[in-house]
Amino acid sequence: MKERSVIIIFFILSNAIAQQNLIPFVKPIIGTEKMGHTYPGVTVPFGAVQLSPDTDTLSYEKNGKYNKDIYRYCSGYKYEDKTIVGFSHTHFNGTGHSDLGDFLIMPTQGKLQLNPGVASNTKSGYRSAFSHANEVSEAGYYKVKLDDDDIIAEMTASTRVGMHQYTFNKADESHIILDLISGIYTYDDKNVWTFVRVINDTLVTGYRQTNGWARTRTVYFAMSFSKPFAKYGQEKSSIKNVYKGFWRKFDETNNFPEIAGEKIRMYFDFNTLAGEKLKIKFALSSVSQDNALENMRAEIKDWDFERVKANAQNLWNEELNKINIEASEDTKINFYTALYHTFINPTTYTDINGEYRGLDQNTHVAKSFVNYSTFSLWDTYRSLHPLFNLIQPSRNSDMVSSMLAHYNQSTLHMLPIWSHYSNDNWCMSGYHSVSVIADAIIKNTYRGDPNEALNACVTTANRRNYQGIGDYIDAGFIPSEKSAVSISNTLEYAYDDWCIAQLAKKLNRQDVYDTFMKRSNNWQNNFNPVNQFMQAKMADGSFKADFNPLATHDQGFIEGNSWNYSFFVPHNPMELVEKMGGKDKFAKRLDTLFSMHLPDEFFAETEDITREGIIGGYVHGNEPAHHVPYLYNWTKQPWKTQEQVRKIMNMQYKPTPDGLGGNDDCGQMSAWYIFSALGFYPVAPGSNEYAIGSPSVNKATINLENGKSFTISVKNQRVKNVYIQKMVLNGKPLLRYFINYDEIINGGELIFILGDKPKKNVN
Amino acid sequence: MKERSVIIIFFILSNAIAQQNLIPFVKPIIGTEKMGHTYPGVTVPFGAVQLSPDTDTLSYEKNGKYNKDIYRYCSGYKYEDKTIVGFSHTHFNGTGHSDLGDFLIMPTQGKLQLNPGVASNTKSGYRSAFSHANEVSEAGYYKVKLDDDDIIAEMTASTRVGMHQYTFNKADESHIILDLISGIYTYDDKNVWTFVRVINDTLVTGYRQTNGWARTRTVYFAMSFSKPFAKYGQEKSSIKNVYKGFWRKFDETNNFPEIAGEKIRMYFDFNTLAGEKLKIKFALSSVSQDNALENMRAEIKDWDFERVKANAQNLWNEELNKINIEASEDTKINFYTALYHTFINPTTYTDINGEYRGLDQNTHVAKSFVNYSTFSLWDTYRSLHPLFNLIQPSRNSDMVSSMLAHYNQSTLHMLPIWSHYSNDNWCMSGYHSVSVIADAIIKNTYRGDPNEALNACVTTANRRNYQGIGDYIDAGFIPSEKSAVSISNTLEYAYDDWCIAQLAKKLNRQDVYDTFMKRSNNWQNNFNPVNQFMQAKMADGSFKADFNPLATHDQGFIEGNSWNYSFFVPHNPMELVEKMGGKDKFAKRLDTLFSMHLPDEFFAETEDITREGIIGGYVHGNEPAHHVPYLYNWTKQPWKTQEQVRKIMNMQYKPTPDGLGGNDDCGQMSAWYIFSALGFYPVAPGSNEYAIGSPSVNKATINLENGKSFTISVKNQRVKNVYIQKMVLNGKPLLRYFINYDEIINGGELIFILGDKPKKNVN
């Protein structure tokens, strides 16, 4: 593809690095079609607000029943849809479970309709038809034309404030709907309580409590309009519901400023001229309405939409410039969109004054760190946090501090498993906080007390009544009778335990090291030497019958079959290679994985991905095998890693709305891409090593927080030149398929010389 | 009656006043039978915790339906009942509407039962039979034997912490039930959300949100046990309800420390020996669990139940000694029990660190005042706050500050009408905050900014869309077509407006004075000169047909008929006397009121009182006519005031459980008694005058906050000697039936010389 010319704007920043304008390469729309579960709206890096269109949430049309279809709407937006319900302020990036979607705003004109209506007939409610032709989705800026009433919707954001700009092309009575019922979740009755105060004719504050994926969750808001509304009100049904027939002394449907109830929909009416712009600032807080207001006033002081947009895009440029690359247009789009997606979750969870709501539902002050929320750790420990540890070490340190704050607030005395908004939902297997913590401390980027951190890891790993940990400690495996995901847990605990051991070693805690190194071998207990697969074990020590390495269900796994999970010993591939019969046999198994056919019946058990999300039997759309393509480095055939990772980059990452073959999972899919595009990957976070792959860029400069930079220079980059011929590190040949953290962090240059033929070994 | 000897213990306090032990004269059980709606449990003066037995709340046995019977359980306890459900931590004193009843604790032994069961069969649940023979109810101390399991329950309190002491007479597995569903309200589904953390084996914190009379109400708690529990858990049904079928990763019924849901019942199990005492500290906060814990740690540092009890009773003695009286045993019991009941509401609503939850649901810090909650102002402006203004001026000033904080947090820009726990329920008519505020400023006891206060009064009085205020301003009355309580509102607004005028005069705000003096005459618009009754008026200015002065319903009144309300011009009785045909005719009307018979059909419309709560047609059990007995002072027959008030004191206040003829209404009934027993009464709070009645004490010394004291000495006090023969103020004959605030506050002595024959005039 011929490179299009792009306008490069240079910014001179305080740190004197000339920044490129990378905004043109970020396409937030990538992944919004099919299974990516990304959203096209606006946020700033790690922003607390994610303001984005919801094309549906389906909760509207159901009645308190489990709603399977909502899975498609984890991020609120499906590219395939033809209507927009409104714009809500909180969204996950790429999750496979749903929640959030708070505070839906929708502009309409003409007859007031407070129900969202149905997609098949937008006139039935406040929703509107739209088309992608009239849609602009950039980092920090989103624009769409709402066809029904010919309204241009634009939005941007600061960290804690979303800013809306609605242009009403027709003169009419205009409405802003604030739907406080709308939300994203599997059940439509997650609302627990809603409270709204109309303070004056431009300012509204309130909060909403929900019982969704997060069990006890409250989000506070402050909303300000750029011009006074003429009148406002709420749906009648909500009043009747709250007061249970009691007579109160006001007409609460019209201009009544003290609103509360379980299900509230409000409207604000404005008289607008043709072409008039109405702007809204919408701030969030986890602590209080006061804090939301303080956040608003601190972050967006005026009504200059363009300035707020420019600020948002400057913030993005600052972060995206952490890595400057030279590459083909498509690769640049893939790369910077991936980098954009890695910088969304976890999200800022402290208010501007440092306060945040803890797991204990008390208000805490984050002293000397920013508290972050939304830790999809089963996904992100693999390469998102390792990426942060390289290019966002300060933020990663704060994320570790956030995990330890969670631990200190936990009556269970556990680090987060899958946490968001002051709750843990304990989703997926393992206790992977320990991987992130160990990696940060081992690489000297964590600024807190490492011994306190180690204690938290050990205590978490000894929580006997959580997910078979007691059995795992006692027997070395989890009996299949007791758990549907016995192997996933055992394998992941074993890796996590190795991380704890590495951390203990660093801190000279020999006793802890010994205990956890021993535990880290527990993966061997699920390894069946007869078939050389990971296989579920019964309480009596026998392997479970009816073994099928292609099946996920009833085999002891989650989001992966034995073919994928059998390679899950990231901390000790050498030993695994031995167990599987040596390097040649092991390489052959990898070949089979990447070339086999996964029959439809077993593909159906592989959640969250499209057919394009798999390569042979290798499931890239899910995470358990993300390190597997790099395992050829432990055989005599490292060039097959180079071949596979280039193939995966080509097949699984495309600059199109359907460009992601599986859930982005809070940036893990994207982080895999960033590492792989740079030419190396952290197979075992917690170790010092990155396995070498095959870079897809022509050149990349990693601008490190310590002021140094590490450059990857690629010679002979062509589509077919996926094989490494030679590597030169700081002027000296690199004669191994690994590079160390220190070699990167101290700055320097790694030159890859590529060719179209495998080179058996660079040694 | 021969006086029983009582042990008088003298305390030497820092202010060097020798205090009497007045605890023996306080019988909290008075008013718990029939209509008093008092509670027998423990609180300290104006305490945030009111820990008291609930004999029923009936919400258990209903299903989300309106439950008329709950009215009997406004305070949770009915003397008539034979069973106790448990002990909850918040109660109103004497209200006619229900709410609160938070955090019910019940000790049991043997088989665990988590449902309360029914009164007819205590074995059906955790409730227990009890008998009054085994019950001790004192100021600051309550004790009862729970018959079912032979458990002695004792309790005491500090301001924000309740302390329980349970003696298990049998060795067994003992349970402490924490029922977080139980509550007092008209509907049984007021629970919105509940959150509990079991921090360790002696400490639990959490909160409960309710949607009851207070719409959005959250109470936080911290609970500590004197010994570790062996195990704990919650009802299974609540878990299913919360997770809606989702699989979570713990067995949450047993020893799971992170509990939340809409309806939670918990148990804590202890192995106890025969005779073992288990103690519980239970602290409340309106702000957070952290604050509840801080309150607990600050107020009760150890497990010395006897010391906490002694502290509580010392606090009571300190307050009760504000007035020392000599009187008959029964009068002392009536007097000090009434004084006790006046010192319960409003309740402290700031935490130990000064924080409280505002009407806006934000956390505020009360700078330089204690924030109070539970303002039953339609009742208490009449004589409770005037009493405070004399003997609790500092607290009354803080109460005014609390009202102004409420105003500042109100998006409606209104002072409280009937407020509790960060909510206004707008119960009853008028805007009587202004009376309390005016009275405090006019008497120079309010320490805040008086002009800010006046502005708040004026703004409230101009809230046109509240309860006919717009019509009242425009037409001078509220059309009967638009309101069922048009006259009550008009009459009460007129009095309130006079208060605002008096305040304006004090602050030299002539414009405000003129406006509101004019408004204060609006009572005349409902006065029908033909029948000389207050009568509802139609929008066209004609009087409403079908007038019946005995009826309350459909006549434009609330809690009173025209016979009672026609006397409601407390700020201008002189003019009313004129309108009603002069002093003789007016006195005759009063005679008729006190001697007439109220037929059953109209008595039935008189809410909240027993037959004993009325005298003739005068309804003492409700408040609108509380000033009426004193109106003879505006005729030529002041001795009839003396006769009537002595009769009312005798008939309406008895030292027995059924001793109150109507709801105590947050102390208003009791405050009427205190003033009347001392021999004077504030007919028009906001004026400087108190009308003279006939004291029931032999002697009374009011120990004023300014260090001075005012003594009432009564000569010839006998049952029949109700008539004043002579009064001597500071050595000089008092030749009028009024005494001024300044005469009291500057200290001195008023001697009443009584006799058994009316003396037509002391002049």
Angle, nearest 10°, between helix axes B486-506 and B433-442?
Answer: 20
pLDDT (tens digit, 9 = 90+) per residue, A75-113? 999 999 999 999 999 999 999 999 999 999 999 999 999
pLDDT, one tens digit per residue, over A177-197 is 999 999 998 776 789 999 999
Interface residue A10 vs chain B (CB under 8 A): no
Among the partner residues B216, B257, B466, nearest to A412 by beta-carbon distance: B257
pLDDT tens digits for range A353-409: 999 999 999 999 999 999 999 999 999 999 999 999 999 999 999 999 999 999 999
What beta strand segments (E) does B239-300 contain? 258-261, 265-272, 276-285
Is some CB atom of chain B closer than 8 A to the CB atom of A249?
Answer: yes
Label residue B12 by pLDDT band (50, 70, 90): very low
pLDDT at residue A59 is higher than 70: no
Sorted by sequence, the CB contacts under 8 Å of residue A231 that are 6+ apart come out as A254, A255, A268, A269
Q: Is A66 within 8 Å of chain B by CB?
A: yes
B343/B318 Cα distance (integer angstroms): 11
pLDDT recorded at residue A695: 98
Is residue A742 within a helix (H) or strand (E), and if so which, with residue range? helix A741-745
How many other CB atoms are there within 10 angstroms of residue B318's CB atom? Answer: 17
For residue B191, pLDDT over 50 is answered with yes
Any A CB within 8 A of B2 CB: no
Query: Which pLDDT belongs to residue B507?
Result: 98
Instruction: Give pLDDT, residue A8.
Output: 37
Phi, psi (deg, nearest 5) at residue B350: -110, 145
A653, β-bridge pairs: A660
- Our CA-based measurement puts residue B21 at a distance from the nearest CA of chain A, in whole angstroms, of 42
| SS3 category, B49 | coil
Set of chain B residues whose Cβ sits within 8 Å of the Cβ of A361:
195, 197, 207, 289
| pLDDT mean across residues, chain A | 93
Of A374, A219, A196, which is closest to residue A292 (Cα–Cα)?
A219
Nearest to A380 by CA among A163, A628, A630, A93: A93
Residue A15: pLDDT over 90: no
Nearest to A412 among B195, B258, B363 (CB): B258
Rounded distance between C-alpha atoms, residue B451 and residue B456, angstroms: 9
In terms of Cα–Cα distance, which of B62, B146, B149 is closest to B112? B149
Q: Pick from B521, B459, B443, B407: which is nearest to B686 by CA?
A: B443
Chain B: residue nearest A292 by CA?
B362
- Global pTM reads 0.95
Instruction: Please give the Cα distance from A374 to A347 (Å, whole number).
Output: 6
Q: Output phi, psi for A438, to 5 deg.
A: -60, -45
What pLDDT does A763 receive? 57
Q: B379 pairs with which residues across the strands?
A: none
**Given an 8 Å threshold on Cβ–Cβ distance, is A360 in contact with B289?**
yes
pLDDT grade for B247, boundaries at 50, 70 and 90: low
Tell me which amino acid residue A403 is: M
Burial (0-12, 13-18, 19+ Cβ within 10 Å), A561: buried
Q: How far is B337 from chain A (nearest CA, A)?
A: 34
Task: Report which secondary-structure segment, H or E, holds A751.
Answer: strand A748-755
* Averaged pLDDT of chain B: 93
**pLDDT tens, position by position, B301-310:** 999 999 999 9
Q: Do A257 and B412 touch (CB under 8 A)?
A: yes
Q: Cβ of B465 and A257 within 8 Å? A: no
The residue ranking higher by pLDDT, B221 or A253, is B221
3-state secondary structure of A188: coil
A-contacting residues in B 254-293 (Cβ below 8 Å) = 257-258, 260, 262, 288-290
Kind of pairing between the strands at B231-234 and B217-225:
unpaired
Binning pLDDT at 50, 70 and 90, where does residue A69 land? confident
Residue of B611, B684, B679 whose CA lies nearest to B646: B679
Q: What is the pLDDT of residue B5?
A: 40
pLDDT at B236: 79
Question: Residue A162 phi/psi, 5° resolution?
Answer: -95, 145
Tell me whether residue A607 is exposed, middle or buried, using C-beta atoms within 10 angstroms of its C-beta: 0 to 12, 13 to 18, 19 or more: middle
| 3-class DSSP state of A114 | coil
Q: CA of A699, closest CA in chain B: separation in Å? A: 46
Which residue intervals of B382-465 are DSSP H helices?
A: 384-391, 393-409, 433-442, 450-461
CA dihedral A285, A288, A292, A295 (to 10 degrees): -80
Q: For residues A97 and A29, give the distance between their C-alpha atoms in angstroms, rounded to a whole number.
A: 20
pLDDT value of position B159: 98
**CB–CB of B465 and A251 under 8 A?**
yes
Q: Calculate ∠ Cα A207-A209-A214, nearest 5°.
A: 135
Angle between helices A668-678 and A329-342 (to 10 degrees): 130
Contacts of B308 (CB under 8 A, 6+ apart): B156, B157, B158, B163, B300
3-state secondary structure of A639: helix
Q: Which amino acid is at B433?
A: S
Token digits for A66? 């489990």
Q: H or E stretch including A440?
A: helix A433-442
Residue B260 in tokens: 């939340």
Q: How far apart are CA A651 and CA A273, in angstroms?
A: 50
Helices A450-461 and A510-519 cross at an angle (nearest 10°) of 40
Q: What is the mean pLDDT of residues A709-715?
A: 98
Over 70: is that where the pLDDT of A311 sits? yes
Q: How confident is residue B241, by pLDDT bands cut at 50, 70 and 90?
A: low
Q: Does domain A37-319 have CATH number 3.40.50.720?
A: no
| Other CB atoms within 10 A of residue B529 CB | 10
Q: pLDDT tens across A194-233, in order?
A: 999 999 999 999 999 999 999 999 999 999 999 999 999 9
> Distance between CA A435 and CA B516 in Å, rounded?
72
Q: What is the DSSP string of B78-94?
A: -TT-SEE-EEES---SS
Does A195 contact B at CB distance below 8 Å? yes
Quick one: pLDDT at residue A5?
A: 40
Indicate if the pLDDT at residue A2 is higher than 80. no
**Could you tell me if A104 and A178 are in contact, meaning their C-beta atoms sit under 8 angstroms apart?**
yes
Beta carbons within 10 angstroms of residue B16's beta carbon:
7
Res. A19 pLDDT band, cuts 50 70 90:
confident
Tens digits of per-residue pLDDT, B79-125? 999 999 999 999 999 999 999 999 999 999 999 999 999 999 999 99
B541-548, Cβ contacts within 8 angstroms, sequence gap of 24 or more: B544/B480
CA separation (Å) from B345 to A608, B90, B338, B390?
Answer: 59, 12, 12, 16
> Would you place residue B442 in the very low, low, confident or very high pLDDT band (cuts 50, 70, 90)?
very high
Q: What is the pLDDT at residue A161?
A: 98
DSSP for residue B609? B
Using CA coordinates, name the residue in chain A closest to B251: A465
End-to-end CA distance of chain A: 35
CB A38 within 8 A of CB A28: yes
Which of chain B's residues have a Cβ under 8 Å away from the Cβ of A248? 425-426
Window 648-707 of A: residues touching B by CB (8 A cutoff) are none
Residue in this structure with the two tokens 């956040």, named with its chain if needed: A295
Contact B426 A209 (CB under 8 A): no
Is the pLDDT assigned to residue A238 strictly greater than 90? no
Query: What gap in Å lies between CA A502 and CA A56, rounded to an integer?
Result: 46
Structure confidence at residue A603 (pLDDT): 82
B192 to chain A: nearest residue by CA? A192
Are the beta carbons of A360 and B197 separated by less than 8 Å?
yes
Cα-Cα-Cα-Cα dihedral sign, residues B534, B536, B539, B545: negative
Q: Tell me if B694 sits within 8 A of B719, measured CB to CB.
A: no
Question: Measured between alpha carbons, how far is A464 from B12 in angstroms, rounded to an integer?
Answer: 59
Question: Cβ of B12: how many Cβ atoms within 10 Å?
Answer: 9
Which chain A residue has the Cα nearest residue B67? A244
- C-alpha distances (whole Å) from A84 to each of A275, A614, B236 are 21, 31, 41
Has residue A136 got a pLDDT over 60? yes
Q: How far apart are CA A518 and CA A524, in angstroms?
A: 11
Amino acid at A212: G
Of the candidates A248, A289, A361, the beta carbon closest to that of B360 is on A289
Alpha-carbon distance of A534 to A568, in angstroms, equals 9
**A chain contacts of residue B257, beta-carbon cutoff 8 Å:** 411-412
Task: Tell me the mean pLDDT in the region B738-747.
Answer: 97
- 3-class secondary structure, B619: strand
Q: Is the pLDDT of residue A682 over 90?
A: yes
Q: Residue B1 pLDDT > 50, yes or no?
A: no
